[in-house]
Structure 1
Amino acid sequence: MTTQPPSTPPLTPQFCFSTAAFRDFLRISRSAIDDPITQHLNALVTPARAGFDPSSTSQRGARPLSRQIDPRSCQDFKNRVLFPSWQARSHVLSYCALVATSPDPDDPEAALREAEKESNRERVVNERLDPYSGRFFPKEARTEHLASIVRMEQGVENIVRTRTWGIVRERCGEPATTWEQALAGWRKTRDRLPLQESRET
């Protein structure tokens, strides 16, 4: 397989707050790895060594493609492409979630929000004359905005991985595991063999 997962961008708070860049990385990674998962798996199918069998045309039911994929090819694809891609996206999501819950002293609109709050405290509220005069909707902090985007992208990620793993399980003959269990198992194996991986890479 020549497919490689997109490289993880340098992670900084500014990357997360630039929500277009943050979401573009996730979108590009998904469109490169998960969206065309069927094509990736089809590329792993090896031709039958025995050659074409003419009698096969008389059989209505085609042999499942999953039997034609070498298990070693499936495992190699998961280890080198699929799981590293998921791990990279998990790392980005976790980092930006942390940024969203951390203090943000460099928020350029912090002073503006404080001015809005101060102005609101000085407002005269008379709900008898104006039932809407007591309402105040302060401008959302960029950390709050980022947190809502991270939550949404985490939900999308779960849906994407569930779909992808369902196809991988079907085509590669995987045991009845969830994608969370499979990824956790890969992480454990990777962490146990750091020296071997460093030599291979």
Structure 2
Amino acid sequence: MAQPSSLPPLNPQFCFSTTALREFLRLSRSSIDDTITQNLNALETPAKAGFDPTSTSRLGPRPQSHQIDAVACQAFKNKVLFPSWQTRSDVLSYCTLVATSPDPDDPEMALREAEMEKNRERVVDERLDPYSARFFPREARTENLASILRMEMGVESIVRYRTWDIVRRRCGVSTHDGWEAALADWRRSREPTGGN
């Protein structure tokens, strides 16, 4: 059974290295969400019901309509699925904070300022050249990171919706219709109960 992804070392450089960020998210999704059917199949104990002699007369794979043991499903959700989702949420939240914070270490800041200065000195005459007013400044790395994070959060939402749909079908009736409520409930269950 797949294990939840461990939290990478979070620092601004990890976030700005969009290749590392995307690779972490891709590997985490592929080990849990993309293989959710296989992960759930691993929870089944086929010998529990005994041998079915009619199973040898059927062609093709067994139907996936039967449900998995509720205790095994709950353990999978609590120990594998939700921790993996939480880890990805933590990474996305941290990198969103980095993307919305000032970036004094931006290596291209001086280059962007020089481009802006040069643009202010340009003579724009749209009658002679209708394209002369066009100026596309270099994007700050925080803006680029914010754009990537918006896209990754959209992907994350779609992946979780699909995964939760399969989990609900295979694990039976759930008190949560959506993955958001299920994850929020799991988070609340892990909060320490304060008693001073």
Both structures adopt the same fold (TM-score exceeding 0.5): yes
**Which residue of 2 is the match for residue 155 of structure 1?**
154
In structure 2, give the amino acid aligned to 1:66. H
Q: CA RMSD in A?
A: 2.1
In structure 1, give the amino acid aligned to 2:10. L
Q: How many residues align?
A: 191
Is residue 2:39 matched to residue 1:40? yes
**Which residue of 2 is the match for residue 115 of structure 1?**
114
Q: Distance in 2 between matches of 1:64 and 1:160?
A: 20
Q: CA deviation at 1:180?
A: 0.2
Check conservation: 1:127, 1:134, Cα contact below 8 A: yes
| Identity over aligned pairs, percent | 71
Q: Distance in 2 between matches of 1:74 and 1:140?
A: 46
Aligned in 2, Cα 1:125/1:56: closer, same or farther, shift over 3 Å? closer
Aligned in 2, Cα 1:15/1:55: closer, same or farther, shift over 3 Å? closer
**Structure 2 unaligned spans of 5+:** none
Q: CA deviation at 1:92?
A: 0.4
In structure 1, give the amino acid aligned to 2:178. T
**Which residue of 2 is the match for residue 186 of structure 1?**
186
Matches within 5 A, 1:86-101: 86-101=85-100
Q: Distance in 1 between matches of 2:64 and 2:113?
A: 64
In structure 2, give the amino acid aligned to 1:81. V
Aligned in 2, Cα 1:138/1:161: closer, same or farther, shift over 3 Å? same
Q: Distance in 2 between matches of 1:193 and 1:78?
A: 21
Matches within 5 A, 1:62-101: 65-67=65-67, 69-101=68-100
Aligned in 2, Cα 1:115/1:52: closer, same or farther, shift over 3 Å? same
Q: Distance in 2 between matches of 1:64 and 1:10?
A: 39
Q: Distance in 1 between matches of 2:131 and 2:63?
A: 68
Q: Distance in 2 between matches of 1:151 and 1:4?
A: 26
**Structure 1 unaligned spans of 5+:** 195-201
Q: CA deviation at 1:193?
A: 6.4
**Which residue of 2 is the match for residue 197 of structure 1?**
none
Q: Structure 1 length normalisation: TM-score?
A: 0.88
**Which residue of 2 is the match for residue 20 of structure 1?**
19
Q: CA deviation at 1:17?
A: 0.3
Check conservation: 1:66, 1:173, Cα contact below 8 A: no
Q: CA deviation at 1:47?
A: 2.1
What do the CA deviations read for 1:41-91 (whole angstroms, capped 9, x no partner)? 0010112435223367789xx775433x21111011111100000000000
